[in-house]
Homo-oligomer: A and B are copies of this chain.
Amino acid sequence: MTTVEIPTIDDVRAAANRISDAVHFTPVLSSQRLSDAAGTEVMFKSEHLQKAGAFKARGACNAVLGLDDETAARGVATHSSGNHGAALAMAASNRGITAHIVMPSNAPTVKRDAVQSYGGLVIECEPNLEARETTLARVVAQTGAHIVPPYDDARVIAGQGTVGMEILEQVPDVEALAIPVGGGGLLGGVALAVKTLKPSVTVVAVEPAGADDAFRSFGLGRIIPQTSPNTIADGLLTSLGERNFALMQQFVDTVVTVSDEAIVAAMRLQWSRMKQVIEPSGAVSYAGILEHPEQFRGRKTVAVVSGGNLDLNKLPW
């Protein structure tokens, strides 16, 4: 029998203290037009305005700042094709240590540039999971670097959970939450924090229909890995983590899916009406509110906007 460490509200509280100087306390934005379109009052917890452009900064900083000096001195490492790599590079840079980021050779230039702009070392590999894991293992063997996984990690989940603590401070009368789910780091952490501190809040996970492993896993009560995901929400392609699934089972009320068309429509409304640059994965929460109004009607709702990093040369309209 194996056990895994599941974070608790105390871990989230500790994370909030640990990272408060390293990350932004992001604003909650609103727009009458976007609430009108949703048929309920919606506020947007704006992690696209977080450092490095996504909530990932929180978990990465919590993990990096929690290392003892000796471990930290050997650097940190991960494999990532997205926001976690940049976030870990940023967190490492702040602590003055090295970040080794294994990236597939087909990763977007903009993501690679983001890692390098924070001083992270990009190690290229073939674009498949096996190559990523093999390359990461080699990096760790050579450098002694400490691995910080993107979502299936108690420190990372606790860091992401600080989003939930901030929401309760900013919108104390919140009644419903819409949270995007990919690997489940953000969802698990926020659901843990909010449901523990205010159990009356309805927590709705929103997932792209083209990568609906969380929807299926939640329904069946066991992890169903994601194979061949196909969605514009490129931050939500991965399979649910083990710790994340456990938290989801305990703290999430419902999982809904949204089409790519709905994601693009939501994103475009957020750009044109709220004037915010939000990536497709970041628009998934609002898409869920638009496509599943029955989950939110009459409830003061906070949609978590997860990030704003995308290639401005390749917009989906």
Contact B312 A315 (CB under 8 A): yes
Closest to A31 in B: B49
Task: Give Cα distance in the complex from A268 to B276, angstroms.
Answer: 13
Task: Give Cα distance in the complex from A138 to B272, angstroms.
Answer: 34
Given contacts A315-B315, A317-B313, contact A308 B268 (CB under 8 A): no
Closest to A267 in B: B312
Contact A317 B308 (CB under 8 A): no
Give the size of the chain A interface in residues (CB under 8 angstroms): 16
Q: Does A208 contact B (CB under 8 A)?
A: no
Interface string of A12-42 (1 = CB under 8 A from B): 0000000000000001000000000000000
**Oligomer copy total:** 2
Interface string of A39-59 (1 = CB under 8 A from B): 000000000110001000000
Task: Give Cα distance in the complex from A276 to B27, angstroms.
Answer: 14
Q: Does A277 contact B (CB under 8 A)?
A: yes
Task: Give Cα distance in the complex from A275 to B283, angstroms.
Answer: 14
Closest to A33 in B: B117
Q: Does A256 contact B (CB under 8 A)?
A: no
Task: Give Cα distance in the complex from A317 to B276, angstroms.
Answer: 18
With a cutoff of 8 Å between Cβ atoms, the chain B residues found around residue A308 in the complex are 275
Given contacts A312-B317, A315-B312, contact A275 B272 (CB under 8 A): no
Which residues of A line the B interface, CB within 8 A? 27, 48-49, 53, 268, 271-272, 275-278, 308, 312-313, 315, 317
Known contacts A49-B275, A271-B312, A275-B276; 17 additional CB pairs below 8 A are A27-B27, A48-B275, A53-B275, A268-B312, A271-B277, A272-B277, A272-B312, A275-B277, A275-B278, A275-B308, A276-B276, A276-B277, A277-B277, A312-B315, A312-B317, A313-B317, A315-B315
